[in-house]
Structure 1
Amino acid sequence: MSYLDNVRVFVRVVELGTLSAAGRDQRVTPAVASNRIKELERHLGVRLFNRTTRKLSPTEHGHVFYQGAVKIIEAVNEAESAIADLSGNPKGSLRITAPLGLGRRLIAPGIPEFHDQYPAIEVRLRLTDRNVDLLSEGVDIAFRLGVLEDSNLRMRGILNCERVLCAAPSYLERRGIPATPEALIDDRHDCLLLRYPGSKEYFWMLQTPRGLRKFEIAGPFDSDDGDVLTEWALEGRGIVNKPLFEVKQYINEGRLAVILKETPPPGIQLAAIYPHKRFQDPKVRLMIDFMAERCQQLIGKMLD
């Protein structure tokens, strides 16, 4: 086993907390990950982790070694990136994340084509509607719908996406069509909520004659998967707030109807988010350029 591979596994165990998670991240079995940590401990002559049944936490020696190990990995990555940039032959791995709906429709289908163009680049895609911490989870690029809130990250805007409120005709026949945003609350309409652990109090922002306003809506159930909300809306279970490109097909088919057209949600930015140092890596630049062009083309076709 190479010493650098052992260090890489060690860093990911510290960041992810378990051997199994670090093993998946590094594409090795938990047994191999465990052996690499043991080999590293033998080499250093110290214990790097306190071991419990559920999680590994770094010892004092482990904390000290982690600070230096991260710098080692960053230096090697930067050196490899510089060589790849000069040689025109980028290689290595890219860790990418995206929301479920966006990832399934736009990002995942493009990965094989990207790999065909750059066969030496391995792409590791994780789809989740959870707000992934790029720095702590070692992610190179996140494709997201929303705004940048972390000053340690950088954003490249790809496209401003129109959003709509919509519901199935069966729901609107049963519950009535809201005439104003206030009716969502006053008439106690069932709004379908996207939530995940740690999410904030739920509300919708709508554009009104008095400007952008917050409406604290409610509903009988929620999900951390945006596609589940769409399915519930199609079944007539409530009103959903979605990017237009995700529901345009259902609107054209008459399965969903847009409501409150005069007071819609504001558009939402589709963007690539990345740690500021990562953009020096040619793999990151290539992936962002590739997906930006692809997303713009595909969303344009969906909205035709």
Structure 2
Amino acid sequence: MSPVPSISISESNGLSFLNVNNEFASAKISLFGGHVLSFVPALDGKDRLWVSPHAYLNGERPIRGGIPICWPWFANDHGKEAGELPPHGFLRTQVWQLTESSEDESGTTLALTPSFTRAEGFEHDCNVVLRVHVGARLRVALETENTGVAPFSFNTALHTYFHVDHIKHTELVGITGEYKDKLDDWAVKPTPVPYTIDAETDRIHLSAVKQATISVDSTEFTDVISEGNDSLVVWNPWQGAASISDMDPFGYKHMLCVESSVTKGLKLEPGEKFELAQIIVPK
């Protein structure tokens, strides 16, 4: 389909990208992975998303940074041995198609669909649509519809990498309750106050946090609003970034993942739809 005037298409290294530019913001979306790579609000001209300078932008691997889509499982929670199936599912390595686009007084809206939704580890009938609205705020929503005759369960996440000027000057505000610590044999711990990052961090917050704020130097703020989530994941590899092939050894200093997630398993009956959304609000 022909996109609306605020959307242009570019190509690089065999990948196609959708470039959105309107009076409110600019954004870039890779059709490989249905992957939002940048969101630059006109408010201050600062990209709220982080992409690794060593990310594979040629289709060989999932893209490190931006907003990867995890579906129909999170991490290696697919019921088989780790490594038998791709981590975070199989949507983030597919080529997606732009199926709808529109623009109005609030910004530009796009709808994208993946090439397929059935693969090893998930053989159910369903439709998946990614809806992205680029305006003064960025709304990214993943809709799953059960089009079959039997219920199925799945997990999903919007694995967002936020850009921060420096992780040591960053604080998360608004997250409460307990979390499971992947780095400590899944021990359940209380959320720290103040919530700062000073070491490798991999946590699944067990409450459905609907709004958190990323504060940098107590002067720059970004609200992270979640809809449909049952948990919130916070991740930073710290010095472990040096062992990740598509990350700079010091990249951890400038990123923080805050992921709107469904990690407890969601059952979808025939005919039902479910939407997981994350809204990024610059302040």
TM-score between both structures, scaled by the size of structure 1:
0.20
Bigger fraction of residues in helix = 1
Bigger fraction of residues in strand = 2
